[in-house]
Amino acid sequence: MPNNLKIALIFIVILVAIGAVGFHVIEGWGLLESIYVTVTTLTTVGYGDFAPQSRTGMLFTVVLVSFGVGTMLYTVGLVAQTMVEGRLMNLLGRGKMEKTIEKMNNHYIICGCGRIGMRIARELAAEKMPFVVVDNRPGVIERLQEECIVYCQGDATHDKCLIEAGIKRARGIVCVLPTDAQNLYVILTAKELNPKIWVLARSEEEQSEHRLLRAGADRVISPYTLGGNRMAMAILRPAMLDFIEITTRRQSLELRMDELPICEGSPIIGKSLEASEIRQRYGLIIVAVKKESGKMIFNPMASYVIQSGDKLIALGEEDNVSKLSQVCLG
């Protein structure tokens, strides 16, 4: 609500209070009758069933009308203006948002924007990854608008809403709705609309994990299991946890661990890790290599030959990781 409208409403309340007390004291009317007369006077309705009988009451009414009617009209005008502008901005904003989504391709869809969904959205936004958030809660929509996050207002379990979010052009979908049943339904719908889409889902219950996987989820994560493991590691292997947090935290200035895909045209394709001089030029350690098949090679030998489609898990300073990323892209 705009500040000027808040101030105007406060003045109205004050005027009603002054009028009610004034008529009660001057004319001796009851409190309810005094409030009634004040409101009918300020709104210029004036039914005529109550009227001041004393000269003091008449003068008081003149003063009340002089100050009150103008304030009342001004407030009504502000209310109408706020409603019209709000409706207009909502229509214009929705149209602009729809056009933005229509231009998106190879993006991600986040279904549900609670604490986990918002954290995912902020991380993707920081990495400049295109995505759309789907949610229908007014408070969440307001927060998304404040942070300039692209959203589609609606129920993610409805086909129409997912289609509006660009499910057929999307690269992946993240299901973080409140219940496993809702996430399961979204997975089935998403796979029906886009069989090739990559699906990440949250699992509330351990026994739901295999159901979500069977429904078509490519990866299922339980926040409770993950959080419990991290807390146990903080007790049993604190140094290891510190290392993981340093290398995976986006704001870390010391070390960065990142996944670097090898694309067609990259000059290091066909070269061994030793021949590519990744360690010498960039000061990076290749912790692992993920093959297109999904196989993971940990601590690869210097003789390992880099192939197109590989994903190098590199560890080192952020600037050097970024430089190697450009080389990997070709």
pLDDT, tens digit (0-9, with 9 covering 90-100), for 39-49: 887 777 766 67
> Does one domain contain both 46 and 134?
no
Q: Running DSSP on this structure, what letter comes out for residue 305?
A: B
> Does one domain contain both 147 and 208?
yes
Instruction: Give the per-residue pLDDT at 137.
Output: 92
> Does one domain contain both 22 and 87?
yes
pLDDT, tens digit (0-9, with 9 covering 90-100), for 29-39: 888 888 888 88
**Residue whose token pair is 């021949």:** 275
Query: Per the structure, how many domains does the chain have?
Result: 3
DSSP letters spanning 238-278: HHHHHHHHHHH-TT-SS-EEEEEE--TT-TTTT-BHHHHTH
**Among 94, 124, 158, residue at a domain's last position:** 94
Instruction: Give the per-residue pLDDT at 250.
Output: 62
More confident site: 8 or 281 = 281
**Among 60, 94, 128, residue at a domain's last position:** 94
232 lies in some domain: no
Question: What are the angstrom distances between the C-alpha of 276 and each of 141, 149, 273, 290, 324?
Answer: 48, 40, 5, 17, 11
| Residue 134 reports pLDDT greater than 90 | yes
239 lies in some domain: no
Structure tokens at 245: 């947090």
> Does one domain contain both 44 and 109?
no
Q: Looking at residue 119, which CATH number applies to its domain?
A: 3.40.50.720
pLDDT, tens digit (0-9, with 9 covering 90-100), for 209-261: 999 999 999 999 999 888 899 899 999 999 888 888 877 766 555 678 889 99
**Residue whose token pair is 């009603």:** 16
Which residue, 267, 305, 273, is CA-closest to 286? Answer: 273
Q: Looking at residue 23, which CATH number applies to its domain?
A: 1.10.287.70
50 lies in some domain: yes
> Does one domain contain both 111 and 219?
yes
CA distance 112 to 151: 11
Enumerate the β-bridge partners of residue 219: 200
244 lies in some domain: no
Phi, psi of 20, rounded to the nearest 5 degrees: -65, -45
Residues 42/19, Cβ–Cβ less than 8 Å: yes
265: left (phi > 0), else alpha (psi -120 to 50), else beta? left
pLDDT, tens digit (0-9, with 9 covering 90-100), for 81-128: 666 655 555 555 566 788 889 999 999 999 999 999 999 999 999 889
> Does one domain contain both 223 and 287?
no
Which residue, 57, 64, 49, 65, is CA-closest to 24? Answer: 57
233 lies in some domain: no
Question: What are the angstrom distances between the C-alpha of 248 and each of 40, 187, 226, 237, 244?
Answer: 66, 28, 15, 17, 6
Query: 55-103 vs 3-26: helix axis angle to the nearest 10?
Result: 160
**Among 34, 62, 94, residue at a domain's last position:** 94
> Does one domain contain both 211 and 322?
no
pTM of the model: 0.65
Q: What angle do CA 45, 49, 51 make, to 5 degrees?
A: 85
| Residue 287 reports pLDDT greater than 60 | yes
More confident site: 206 or 69 = 206
> Does one domain contain both 129 and 80?
no
The alpha carbon of 206 is separated from its chain's Cα centroid by a whole number of angstroms, namely 26
> Does one domain contain both 191 and 142?
yes
241 lies in some domain: no
> Does one domain contain both 151 and 204?
yes
Domain that holds residue 323: 254-329
> Does one domain contain both 80 and 16?
yes
Instruction: Give the per-residue pLDDT at 211.
Output: 93
- Radius of gyration of the chain from Cα atoms? 32
245 lies in some domain: no
Helices (H), the chain: 3-26, 31-42, 55-103, 115-126, 138-146, 159-164, 180-193, 209-215, 223-236, 238-248, 273-276, 278-282, 318-329
Q: What angle do CA 49, 53, 55 make, to 5 degrees?
A: 140
CA distance 144 to 122: 10
Structure tokens at 188: 């089935």
The alpha carbon of 178 is separated from its chain's Cα centroid by a whole number of angstroms, namely 15
249 lies in some domain: no
> Does one domain contain both 60 and 109?
no
